[in-house]
Structure 1
Amino acid sequence: MIELDGKTVLVTGGTRGIGAAIVEALVTAGAQVLVHGRTTPEEGPYAAGSPGRASTRFVAGDLALPGSGRRLWERADQEAGGIDVLVNNAGIYVPDALEADDQQWAEAWERTMQVNLIAPAELCRAALRSWFGASRGGVIVNVASRAALRGDDPDYGAYAASKGGLVALTKTIARAHAGRGVFAYAVAPGFTRTSLTQECFDATPGLESRVRAEIPIGDIVPPVEIARVVCFLASGLVGHATGSTFDLNGASYVR
């Protein structure tokens, strides 16, 4: 079992889906976790006034706003008194159909790039500056997508491009800063079993069966598997894998 006692981790988009599974795995491994969400929930363990959990703290921030990544890091770092691991998990999936009008298409691209690539880049930059200022290293895990490697459906070019950029950013950080003790990894899931995915399946008859048919393992990815990989990478036990992208897609895309 991975042990993360003494580690402090910031997880963006940590209140649901893949992010919530990552938080749970990190806490189980002994980490202190700063859980980011766009707004403070009205109910649940991260709601205002909730006793929450001793091992987690909530930090709000809208990553669609310019400069939000840097501000989120500064606030979280100050609250925690230092962060050892950054997990960039937050992301959006917005259509950018060719048939959309120019303004809608441009807005979809701009918003997707801001949330999925620019904000994570700001967070990575802030983390690196913080770690180097303290003469220490750290770990960055960027949650990308299968779409970064094989492309996506026609209406989601911005999403694929943003995740491809995130993989390239991960490789660049790894090559540039491994000598200073920074390890950077990307995780690239395929279709994942979350409530949002289920909503898509429910809204589109036959979609789930079509998706399953292209996955040799026969099912879409459970979030806990992604969380286990992130937890392992956060441990720092595989430094020589820095710069790598870890695929979790049931062999629906093999490279």
Structure 2
Amino acid sequence: MRIDLSSKTVLITGGSRGIGAAAVRAFAASGARVAVHCGRNLHVAQALAAEVGGGAEAFKAELSDPEACTPLWDAVVARFGRVDVLVNNAGVAMAAPVAGEEAAWLDAWTRTMAVNLTAMGLLCRAAIGHFQSQGGGRIINISSRAAFRGDTPDYMAYAASKGGGVALTRSIARGFGKQGIVAFDVAPGFTRTEMAQDFIDQYGEAYASSDIALSRLTEPGDIAPMLVFLASGLADHATGTTIDINAGSYVH
């Protein structure tokens, strides 16, 4: 069955690369009009929007700045008139050794929380208000298996931020379902992206793939179809749930 999202407008944060870029392509292939957010490389996001077509456009906002988050949402609504689906995909993973300088550790913690959790919360807040006014909508938040099993000591901030995103998703699902607003959490395991390359460089690819049950690392294209499915309305009664896509590396 082909999912038809031709009547939907979707905002995908961190849409210029990795999981976000795969999602942009998958949503556009399903007929959706896509707002491709990027933090820095506007020309990359613009090229991707031109590639997928369908009225897709690029929007730049630095999500580490809380004051940039709601204006991003407002800019997309002003341009497209409405948003039906929010995919909170943007994220950072910054190594911060516990034994390092406290100032450096705190800086990594603060930036990680700003992008991975505060920006997600602000965009969810904006989406809820918008969805209430139009009779409903769907939120898909990207967390991580680290939210459930933890991460290495150097990436504690990353795990903590992703755990907060899971709680946020569940709270939205419980609180706004009767207003037609559903929310899902998708928790990838280690995925071959540019962001993950730092981890591979630090620990080695063998370490990254040592605990998966399948024969290859997860690719962004393995995750994007699930996002389209959750956006379709076919899974609304699973609101609040977490979908694990981690190649069997963590089963809970």
Query: Under TM normalisation by the shorter chain, which class is it?
Result: over 0.9
Deviations 1:183-221 (A, max 9, x none): 1001000011223434543x34x7211222211112211
Determine if contact 1:67/1:122 at 8 Å carries over to the other structure: no
Structure 1: any 5+ residue segments left out of the alignment?
none
Hey, what's the Cα distance between the residues in 2 that align with 1:51 and 1:30?
A: 14
For these two proteins, the number of residue pairs brought into alignment is 249
Matched, 1:91 2:88: no
Determine which structure has the larger helix proportion and give its number.
Answer: 2
Secondary structure at the aligned position of 2:163 is classed as helix
Q: Which residue of 1 aligns with 2:145?
A: 146
Deviations 1:154-188 (A, max 9, x none): 11111000000000000000000111101100100
Q: Show the counterpart of 2:248.
A: 251
Native 8 Å contact 1:27 1:55 kept in 2: no
Structure 1 length normalisation: TM-score?
0.93
- Two-structure CA RMSD over aligned residues (Å): 1.7
Question: 1:229 aligns to what?
Answer: 226
**1:45: how far off?**
6.1
**Structure 2: which 5+ runs fail to align?**
none
Moved segments of 4+, more than 6 Å:
none
What is the distance in 2 between the residues matched to 1:57 and 1:124?
21
Decide whether the 8 Å contact of 1:67 with 1:119 is kept in 2: no
- Counterpart for residue 60 of structure 2: 60
Q: Percent identity?
A: 45
C-alpha separation in 2, matches of 1:131 and 1:212: 40
Query: What SS does the corresponding residue of 1:254 show, helix, strand or coil?
Result: coil
Q: Which residue of 1 aligns with 2:12?
A: 11
How far residue 34 of structure 1 moved from its aligned partner, in angstroms, is 0.2
Give the direction of change, closer, same or farther, for the CA distance of 1:94–1:198 in structure 2 (3 Å limit): closer
Equivalent pair of 1:188/1:247 in contact (CA under 8 Å): yes
TM-score normalised according to structure 2 size: 0.94
What is the CA-CA distance between 1:222 and the residue it aligns to? 1.3
Q: Secondary structure at the match of 2:62?
A: coil
Task: Report what 1:107 is aligned to.
Answer: 107
